[in-house]
Structure 1
Amino acid sequence: MPAVSAELGTSKAVMALQKTLSLLLLSLLTLLGLGLVQPSYGLATYEGFQREHVDSTGTGGTNLYCNTMMQRRGMTRPRCKQFNTFIHEDIGTINNICNAPNIQCKDHRMNCHAGVVRVTDCRNTGGSSPYNCRYGARASTRRVVIACEGNPLVPVHFDR
């Protein structure tokens, strides 16, 4: 008889654990739906923004710079990215743009912010295969618009 009692105890414990896990999952999904918990992909988007658009140590401005950086940052595979902008400011200055007043993004969302920074715009001037991408550079100090998300707000997308 003790074996049957132990099995019933184990069965009740497993059922209680399943119920607890179900409630935790439901709570997490509710918080995600309300926007109170940031999903982990937000960090990857911030890191992606930095990989594609931030070069705080470079001054840019030359075709060689664009050709090198576009390849180094993985924007020539599987095909040449047509246009990209590198921001030449420290990440703190770029993050601070997210504190500027909200403006409308190209996709009509209201999570964009504007600031003036030093940039190099790289435009594809020929070639389409990963080994034949060629870029022309244009350096300037200009107004940029970036989309920001998270808490605290961080840049996740270069809008224009």
Structure 2
Amino acid sequence: MLQLPSLEEKIKTDGGWDGAFDSFTKFVRQHVDEGGENGSNDYCAKMMEIRKMTKANCKPMNTFIHAKKEDVEAVCLNNKPISKNIYKSNVTFSVTICINNKRPPNSPCEYTANKVKGYIKIECDKKKPVRFVDLVPALVSVS
């Protein structure tokens, strides 16, 4: 019997795996990071490389949601769509937005990190997240 590697093993794989087993697995690989909440430029550079988003070209922008994948999946399970297949969380998430600094061709990817809290909008298919759509920043009360 063939046993497929776990998500953690797939992420650690240095070559041969492009993350395309299914849309949910790809979503988790690209957007969910339970442990990393420092939101630094180094964090972005490291995560973008580890998660295979710098191979051919530097991905222009990516968002990492700092939560358990089950908590992100709950957005699809516990909310009504706000439009066709698009769901908005009813709780805020800590998120790091990594934006590529335009660099000359063939130079290493370099990212600027922005750490924010907000409500996530995701596209769901069969009650599973498959695409990050948007982030609605949480309002900060001023006293």
Query: CA offset at residue 60 of structure 1?
Result: 3.4
Aligned length: 112
**TM-score under structure 2 length normalisation:** 0.73
Match of 1:159 among 116, 133, 136: 133
Larger Rg, first or second structure (1 or 2): 1
Query: CA offset at residue 127 of structure 1?
Result: 2.1
Taking only aligned residues, the RMSD between alpha carbons, in angstroms, comes to 1.7
* Unpaired segments ≥5 residues, structure 2: 1-19, 135-143
Tell me the alpha carbon deviations over residues 86-136 of structure 1, each in whole angstroms, 9 at most, x when there is no partner.
0001111101111212012xxxxx001011211000000132656511000
Counterpart residue identity of residue 60, structure 1: N
Match of 2:42 among 64, 88, 97: 64
- The aligned counterpart of 1:27 is none
**Percent of aligned pairs with the same residue?**
34
Q: Does 1:133 align with 2:112?
A: no
- Return structure 1 stretches of 4+ with deviation > 6 angstroms: none
Counterpart residue identity of residue 68, structure 2: D
Distance 1:88 1:128, change over 3 A: farther
- The aligned counterpart of 1:87 is 65
* Unpaired segments ≥5 residues, structure 1: 1-41, 105-109
In the aligned structure 1, how far is the partner of 2:130 from the partner of 2:112?
A: 25
Distance 1:129 1:79, change over 3 A: farther
In the aligned structure 2, how far is the partner of 1:69 from the partner of 1:62?
A: 11
- The aligned counterpart of 1:118 is 94
